Amino acid sequence: MSDEFSRIEEIKRRLLTDSNEVQITIGDDGAVLTPSDASQILSVDAQVEGIHFCRDFATWNDIGYRSFVAALSDLAAMGAQPRVALVSLILPIEFADNDLYCLIDGISEAATAYRSPVVGGNLSAGAQMSITTTVIGQSRKEALTRNGARPGDAIYLTGRVGRAALGLRCLQNDKEARGIDFVHCWRRPRARIAEGLKLARLASAAIDISDGLLQDLSHVCRASNVNAEINSDAIPLDETYCDLAKELGHYPLALALTGGEDYELLFTAPRDTPIEGLGTRIGRIVEGTGKVVVLDERKRVLTFKNAGYRHWQNK
Ligand SMILES: [Mg+2]
């Protein structure tokens, strides 16, 4: 195993890219950003082994990639263009060089794909492996926030939900080959940056779905002080997804509404807004105090055991 300084040199070599966004990049005590007159948007996300990922289910390359996308997804939800990122790694003492470089290559791949170079970070030893990614983005329009939803607005969803959660369940049940497309959604999620940039001038509120649609929508409802009504039959579900979810013992709709890590965007907009095919309408905002209600096709209220993922549950 290499010593700390040669590891850092190798990491630098793998991450170094030319970028107009910085005047000084990895290698000094700090990075220097190129001045910009746009609003700067900052966010940080930590992925911890055993909580957010498990090394049995993904390669280090995938783990690096998805940790970076998870952080960028918050910029997408704010309608921001990524600029640069900082990555802090905590590695167990015995963590092998080769695993570390696979992880860095996964991070580098996502950083290149989303044009958000890693310009600094930190490497430390610790009991539990974790990856903490700080992202900096910018917006020349007003940032998209959670608190602008108003009664009468329609609720939209980009893409489909439940697919990453189904992929994870396939892995947990030894059905990787059977559900490979869904496994891919979990291992290699996408951040909806391009959609977020367009929504910045269209949506009244937005959030990314990291912990489950119902839970993340409830954050929008509380921030906006409104209620949401979701039409269960408007949630886009395809046959392959429904068949496999049922086969694994899950109610497809419940998994779609409460499963996390799809990193799709949930947004609201006044009903007549031309949303240019950016999402599917799944419900509406009504007066209220922060609740989310799911209605079936006969307007009966459906209830779900959990709204989504939480690190801490009430006892
Ligand atoms: Mg978020």
The answer on pLDDT for 287 being more than 60 is: yes
Ligand 1 centroid to Cα of residue 74, in Å, is 5
Q: Residue 315: pLDDT above 60?
A: no
Residue 314: is its pLDDT beyond 60?
A: no
The pLDDT of residue 47: 93
Kindly give the distance from the C-alpha atom of residue 6 to the centroid of ligand 1, in angstroms, as a whole number.
35
Cα–Cα distance list, 87 to 64, 76, 105, 296 (Å): 10, 18, 13, 44
Closest CA to 83 of 51, 107, 118, 54: 118
- The alpha carbon of 306 is separated from its chain's Cα centroid by a whole number of angstroms, namely 19
- Count the Cβ atoms, other than its own, within 10 Å of residue 294: 23
Q: How far is the CA of 127 from the centre of ligand 1 (A)?
A: 27
Rounded percentage of the chain residues whose pLDDT exceeds 70: 97
Supply the pLDDT for residue 3: 83
| Ligand 1 geometric centre to CA of 192 (Å) | 12
42 CA distance to ligand 1 middle (Å)? 12
Distance 116 CA to ligand 1 centre (A): 18
Q: What is the pLDDT of residue 89?
A: 97
Distance 258 CA to ligand 1 centre (A): 15
N-term to C-term CA, the chain: 44
Q: What is the pLDDT of residues 12-55, one digit of tens each?
A: 999 988 899 999 999 889 999 999 999 999 999 999 998 888 88
Give me ligand 1 centre to Cα 259, in Å: 14
- Distance in Å, CA 264 to ligand 1 centroid: 10
Query: pLDDT tens digits, residue range 82-138?
Result: 999 999 999 999 999 999 999 999 999 999 999 999 999 999 999 999 999 999 999
Residue 172 pLDDT exceeds 70: yes
> What span, in angstroms and rounded, lies between the C-alpha atoms of 122 and 133?
10
Phi, psi of 39 (to 5 degrees): -65, 135
Q: For 199-224, what is the mean pLDDT? A: 96
**Percent of the chain as helix, strand, coil, to the nearest 5:** 35, 25, 40
Distance 13 CA to ligand 1 centre (A): 31
Q: How far is the CA of 44 from the centre of ligand 1 (A)?
A: 10
- Considering the chain, what percentage of its residues have pLDDT values greater than 90? 87
How far does the centroid of ligand 1 lie from the alpha carbon of residue 50, in Å? Answer: 20
- Dist. CA 241–CA 227, nearest whole Å: 29
pLDDT-derived band at 262, boundaries 50, 70, 90: very high
CA separation for the pair 101, 145 (Å, rounded): 36
